[in-house]
Copies of this chain bind each other. A is one copy, B any other.
Amino acid sequence: MSLGEFDLIARYFQRPAGTGPRRAIVGNGDDCAIIAPAAGMQLALSTDTLVEGRHFLSTVNPARLGHKALAVNLSDLAACGARPLGFTLALTLPRVDEAWLADFARGLLDLADEHDCELVGGDTTAGPLAIGITVFGEVPSGQALLRGGARAGDDIWLSGHPGEARLALEAFRGNLHPPLGSEAFEACRMAMECPDPRVALGEGLRGLASAAIDVSDGLLGDLGHILQRSRVGADLFADALPCSPWLLPRSRAEQLDCILAGGDDYELLFTAPPAHRAAIGVLGASLGLPLTRIGRTRAEPGRTIWPSGLDAAADGAPTDAGRGQPLPDRWASFDHFKAGA
């Protein structure tokens, strides 16, 4: 790539003065972006890279790719309860394709504007297609949602209905019998290619949730991170799991695989004391986002997936009465990476 082409690339990511948010005192173009956090605020910082063939298919629409590259990073801020401020972009491109760049930048910057999140710096390199983003946001001191805050007896909550992204991936792979109908395929494909980061939910959960994580590697895997950090175990209830309308016609085994181990969904999984149930219900309603109780944490380590019995668990019943036999936990070694997603 010549320096001329380098300048050209940068042009797609620069906004006319006076448009869009202005968080940085010095943005795009100096050695560093200079940022002044507000008093009483802590900064939350996260980084994620998307690599072609690993995180996205080479055929993906570039506007959706731009959206998703930022969305997965905003999702990390959401999981901390942080409000987005800005991001840096490290773009590695095999060649300069102006139409591709224009679409990619549009998808990226539209989502950035939606969340008032400013592109403050970047770096462009020739090489195999990869998109590295580091995002930063602010959260009032001491109020960040962490993975290690769950206490035994907390409710386990889930936003939305994970599983559609995995259903789309399996459709692309030709693994679904019967295949998805075209309407279902398009809807699930949007879930995979254009996830909505749950930023407003994350901010709303400050002071309500005891721990939170975003569901990027699959519900059970991500729950495992909360359990490990919080040193608690969990009871989950299969009949309480929210099921996407596009998953409803599939077999129960396929439903559970997609919901429990699907990955790439970017919903929030969080824990909260039972005393916060009503407030969380109000929050979900105000956001128009379903928030579902799916289980409860417990002192005993490990996880158990029961066919039903959430209400018994919610009443704090110490026995397994009424829960039936636990489901065989065949997701223990179900690995997002091994599956090549």
User: Which residues of A come within 8 Å of B, CB atoms?
Assistant: 1-3, 6, 25-26, 29-37, 39, 42-49, 51-55, 76-77, 79-80, 82, 88-90, 92, 120-123, 125-128, 130, 132, 134, 136-137, 139, 141, 144, 146-148, 212-214, 217, 221, 229, 335-338
Contact = CB atoms under 8 A, between A and B. Distances in A.
Nearest to A80: B32
Contact of A127 (B54, B89, B139): B54
B26 A144 contact: yes
A209 to B, nearest CB: 12
A271 B47 CA distance: 34
User: How many monomers of this protein are in the complex?
Assistant: 2
20 contacts: A1-B337, A3-B337, A25-B42, A29-B229, A30-B147, A31-B76, A31-B77, A33-B44, A34-B44, A37-B37, A45-B120, A45-B136, A47-B90, A47-B122, A49-B123, A51-B92, A51-B126, A51-B128, A128-B128, A132-B132
A127 B337 contact: no
Contacts of A134: 45, 47, 88, 90, 134
A31 B198 CA distance: 14
Contacts of A1: 337
A329 B30 CA distance: 26
B31 A46 contact: yes
A36 B90 contact: no
Nearest to A120: B45
A30 B77 CA distance: 11
B128 A49 contact: no
A2 B46 contact: no
Nearest to A336: B3
B46 A121 contact: yes
Given A26-B144, A134-B134, A337-B3, A33 B46 contact: yes
A6 B37 CA distance: 33
Given A36-B43, A47-B121, 6 more contacts: A2-B338, A30-B80, A33-B46, A35-B44, A35-B45, A45-B121
A95 to B, nearest CB: 13
Contact of A33 (B45, B121, B213, B214): B45
B136 A51 contact: no
Q: Taking each of A2, A35, A130, which has the highest tally of chain B beta carbons within 10 Å of its own beta carbon?
A: A130
A88 to B, nearest CB: 4
Contacts of A2: 335, 337-338
B37 A43 contact: yes
A93 to B, nearest CB: 10
B130 A30 contact: no
A32 B45 contact: yes
A55 B89 CA distance: 18
Contacts of A48: 90, 123
Nearest to A135: B32
A139 to B, nearest CB: 7
